[in-house]
Structure 1
Amino acid sequence: MAEASANIGVNFPPFLNSSSPTFLPSRTLKPEFPLTSKLKPNTWRTKPLNLTAFAPSSRLTSAAFTQTDDGKFQPRIEADNSRTGRVFFLDVNPLCYQGSKPSLRNFGRWVSIFFEEVSHSDPVIAVFDGEGGSEHRRLLLPSYKAHRIKFTRPPSSKRFTKGNFRTSYQVIRDALRSCNVPVVRVEGHEADDVIATLVEQVLQRGVRVVVASPDKDFKQLISEDIQLVMPLPELNRWSFYTLRHYLAQYNCDPCSDLSLRCIMGDEVDGVPGIQHVAPGFGRKTALKLLKKHGSLENLLSAAAIRTVGKPYAQDALTKYAEYLRTNYKVLALRRDVDVQFQDEWLVERDRRNDSTILSKFVENNDRNLLVQPSKQV
């Protein structure tokens, strides 16, 4: 079951949609009158913003887009979006590394910037990987994240003893709770799947979502109601990534993102692409076929009954169909985790003690003394 705890209070700034590819910090806006713990639409006074309007559905399909004469994809504008407020999901585990090395100090630094420049007083829910969360994917594909390391309890040393030692997870959890952030961890599930499940529940409440993570897996969720915000180490800041940015980068329907990754593979996560078994099958071919057929399953189904491309592509799609379907099962985010979003999380976060708590956290963990790498389980 999920572990969750927080001491939190009221209010919602509006959800901002950036059309700029550069970093855009959140704005703290004053309400016209105090809000109760329930959401009240149309209560925020904002200055007009030159933003792109997107279709109202949170689940994007090919029908939500039009393709211009020059081949560019554009979101189809149907109506104003009525969602109000926003909730941040903080993907904790990737922030606990500096490069490939575990680093509690790195987590403290990024969270400090996140609270100060991005989330402000908006609700934040922190999600950890559960123990054994990758196991069902590794059963499908043994190479999945096989090279990863995780935080674990190091053996006894002169500096720390069993009596006074707390695991890295407990240290981070306690700091987040002190900053009035609910903490969620579901054993047997990765944070990605927990977040994807909770995102669906938040959207049903009429609230928009921002996922804070460097993990590209979350691009398969992106829509007009779901944004990403990613840490940029080279600039020492977080940067929003929106539907508009996705279309500019990939020039394809976001629904195709997962299918494209299944074909091309994901070397970081240990998921081999089709080029390992069919070297001539490249990204250009994959994009062309997906733009025509919409999804990997549609493409494979079509290839099973008729010719969909050049002989090398046709042969690869028919011969390695199950290979690609396995990639899909591994890379697709699950939305059926046994976890429930709590309505009390939809309140303003008390941030008054952020600076003191996180400064102390960074100072105490400056040398990463509580971290020991080991093989992930």
Structure 2
Amino acid sequence: MVQANMMHVAVHVPSLASVSSIKPRSRTQKIKPGVVCAVFDQTVGGQLLIDKEKSKSRRRVFFLDVNPLCYEGSTPSLQSFGHWVSLFFREVSHTDPVIAVLDGEGGCEHRRRLLPSYKAHRRKFIGLLNGSQRFSRGHVGRSRQFIMDVLGKCHVPVVKIEGHEADDVVATLVDQVLQRDYRVVIASPDKDFKQLISEDVQLVMPLKDLERWSFYTLKHYIAQYNCDPHSDLSLRCIMGDEVDGVPGIQHVVPGFGRKTALKLLKKHGSLENLLNAAAVRTVGRPYAQEALTKYADYLRRNYEVLALRRDIGVHLEEEWLVERNTSNDSIILSDFFGSMQETQKVTRQNRYHFSSG
């Protein structure tokens, strides 16, 4: 594995070798009511979700969003990482190129300078961990290196850019991949990636209840939200995002609700178009008009916080687009789970000796 460091960009690139293409196995999966997803290249309701002819002519590149896979709920878990990655290699990506992306140190700071409440709950959680677990920082560092080593041995390049979140790195690289006429699949449970969905960009999400990865396409997005991804991002900027600590306009104008926001965005298309229109003419009822003019900077700040950046200083390497060599997968993942079992055994023994002493 070769490690390159430049401009505060840490990229771990394994030696990639071309291998014969393996066709995905056809499987029939049941989908729970209310879950809008496609399980692999299957059909739902009798309609084909993926254009088979198009998929044959244009290869896919997968982006693996590593950080959220390393948690079981809010608890850090290498076991969770191993579980989802092994399923991902076995059932989803096969020999397609995979690029893994990690959050860089201080990745949230830019957005926190704009909005101090951004992902504030995550800081509190980390603070509790550091206060309750000795040497937690060193443990996190060793775990991250362990994860990078596993991915590297499975011939997956790992990209980590200091000062930037993985979401923005992925968004930047997605544009570069599309320019090379590939299709993109982003493997992540993060809803922020939905703003990137298009005919050429899909998501594949880990669904815990179903214990499998499931594809999510532009058709599913439109069926679920009844709007295009850009309009939905504008809606989130108006209504806020409680999970990420982004307050909506209802915090300052209680009467401005989702129904009003949807109506205005349907007419104007985007937040910026709406704000520009409100600056020169009446676009709605007096309370909405006043809110859009008085709190325009508030809403634009929300947009800057929630919109993914596509200008990060990272460049796609041609060797990342080579078919992935899967020859190491079985033994590397087997060793990984064996190591996890041994670690758990030692931990239980230490706890027993500590409690007995």
TM category, shorter: 0.7 to 0.9
Contact 1:102 1:150 in 2 (8 A): no
Contact 2:172 2:312 in 1 (8 A): yes
Post-superposition CA distance 1:97-144 (Å, at most 9, x none)? 111111111111111111111111111000000000010100000000
Q: Secondary structure at the match of 1:167?
A: helix
Which residue number corresponds to residue 104 of structure 1?
A: 78
Aligned AA for 2:99?
Answer: I
Which residue number corresponds to residue 176 of structure 2?
A: 201
- Partners of 2:335 and 2:255 lie apart in 1 by 54
Which residue number corresponds to residue 76 of structure 1?
A: none
Which residue number corresponds to residue 56 of structure 1?
A: none
Q: Does 1:119 align with 2:134?
A: no
Aligned AA for 1:174?
Answer: D
Q: 1:328 to 1:24 in 2, by over 3 A?
A: same
Among 147, 162, 166, the alignment partner of 1:187 is: 162
Identical positions, percent = 66
Length-normalised TM-score, structure 1? 0.77
Q: Secondary structure at the match of 2:120?
A: coil
Aligned AA for 1:103?
Answer: S
Post-superposition CA distance 1:224-253 (Å, at most 9, x none)? 000011111111111111000011011112
Which residue number corresponds to residue 236 of structure 1?
A: 211
Which residue number corresponds to residue 2 of structure 1?
A: 9
- Partners of 2:339 and 2:48 lie apart in 1 by 44
- Partners of 1:365 and 1:327 lie apart in 2 by 41
Q: Secondary structure at the match of 1:219?
A: helix
After TM superposition, the structure 1 = structure 2 runs for residues 224-373 of structure 1, keeping only pairs within 5 Å, are 224-366=199-341
Q: 1:108 to 1:344 in 2, by over 3 A?
A: same
Aligned AA for 2:222?
Answer: L
Which residue number corresponds to residue 25 of structure 1?
A: 40
Aligned AA for 2:289?
Answer: Q
Q: 1:117 to 1:82 in 2, by over 3 A?
A: closer
- Partners of 1:353 and 1:300 lie apart in 2 by 54
Which residue number corresponds to residue 65 of structure 2?
A: 91
Length-normalised TM-score, structure 2? 0.81
Which runs of 5 or more residues in structure 2 are unaligned? 1-7, 25-30, 348-357
Deviation of the 1:350 alpha carbon: 1.3
Deviation of the 1:353 alpha carbon: 2.3
Q: 1:52 to 1:363 in 2, by over 3 A?
A: closer
Q: 1:83 to 1:313 in 2, by over 3 A?
A: farther
Contact 1:26 1:117 in 2 (8 A): no
Contact 1:275 1:282 in 2 (8 A): yes
- Partners of 2:178 and 2:279 lie apart in 1 by 37
Q: Secondary structure at the match of 1:345?
A: helix
* Count of aligned positions: 314
After TM superposition, the structure 1 = structure 2 runs for residues 18-167 of structure 1, keeping only pairs within 5 Å, are 21-25=36-40, 50-51=48-49, 84-148=58-122, 149=125, 155-156=134-135, 167=142
Range with greater deviation from structure 2 (222-231 or 141-150): 141-150
- Partners of 1:340 and 1:299 lie apart in 2 by 34
Q: Higher relative contact order by CA 8 Å / sep ≥ 6: 1 or 2?
A: 1
- Partners of 1:347 and 1:145 lie apart in 2 by 36
